[in-house]
Amino acid sequence: SAWLCAAASCTLDDEAVVSGVRRMSFAEMAKLARERGQPFAASGNSEGTPRSVGFNVQGFRVAVNKGTGEIKILRSVQAADAGIVANPMQCRGQVEGGVAQAIGAALYEEMVIDATGRVTNPKFRDYHLPSFADVPRTEVFFAETSDTIGPLGAKSMSESPYNPVTAALGNAIADATGIRFTAPPFKPDRLFPALHEKFGN
C-alpha cells in the first residue's frame, strides 16, 4: 500500500524512507514506481563532514644528461604537515614510500596501449618499477602544527606524499634544461629529442 507525505517531512534511514511512524524501503518504492510507470528519481545535497587536510611540499635537485636524456636525482627533500606526528618513524616511512612510488610514476612507469586497446607491456620485465637503487635518500621534515579534528591533533598522510612528486620533478627538469616537459614519465627517450634540438650533440 502506498502512502503520501510531504517530502520535507521524510528522512532517510537504513535504506528506507521514514515519515513519522511510517516506513517504506527503497526496494518497495522502486517497485511501486515501476508498477505505476512513474520515474524513480531523487535529488539532494550533502554539506559533507569536517575533515583534516594534510599538506606536502616536495623539492628535487636533478642533473640531466643533455646527450642521453638520463636524469639523476641529486637531492630529495619532503616537508609534510601531518599535524601532531604520533609515530615519527612510521610517518617518515610513509612519506619515503610515497616518494618512491611517485618517482616510479614520474620517471619510469608507462603502460603502453596499442590501437586496439591492448596493453603491449603486460609483464614487469617490460614495465620499470623503481628498485632500491632508483630511489634517492629523501630528507623528511615535519611541520609543527596541530589539527583540531584528527586524533591527538594528527592528520592523515596516506597518499599525500605521492602527490607533489611529479610536479616537483617536472619543475627541477625545467630548471636544469630550460625545457618544460609536461607528459610523464620523464624517460630519456622522451626527453632526448627536445634536448638534442636545443643542445645538439
**63 closest CA partner among 169, 182, 180:** 169
Helix (H) or strand (E) holding 25: strand 22-25
Closest CA to 71 of 171, 162, 160: 171
The answer to whether the CB of 83 falls within 8 A of the CB of 146 is yes
Q: Are 74 and 97 in contact (CB under 8 A)?
A: no
Query: What's the Cα-to-Cα distance from 24 to each of 1, 44, 73, 89, rounded to whole Å?
Result: 10, 18, 61, 51
Q: Which of 47, 139, 159, 197 is catalytic?
A: 159
CB 105 within 8 A of CB 166: yes
Peptide bond into 122 cis (omega under 30): no
Q: What angle do CA 56, 61, 62 make, to 5 degrees?
A: 125
Q: Is 159 a catalytic site residue?
A: yes
Residues forming the active site = 159
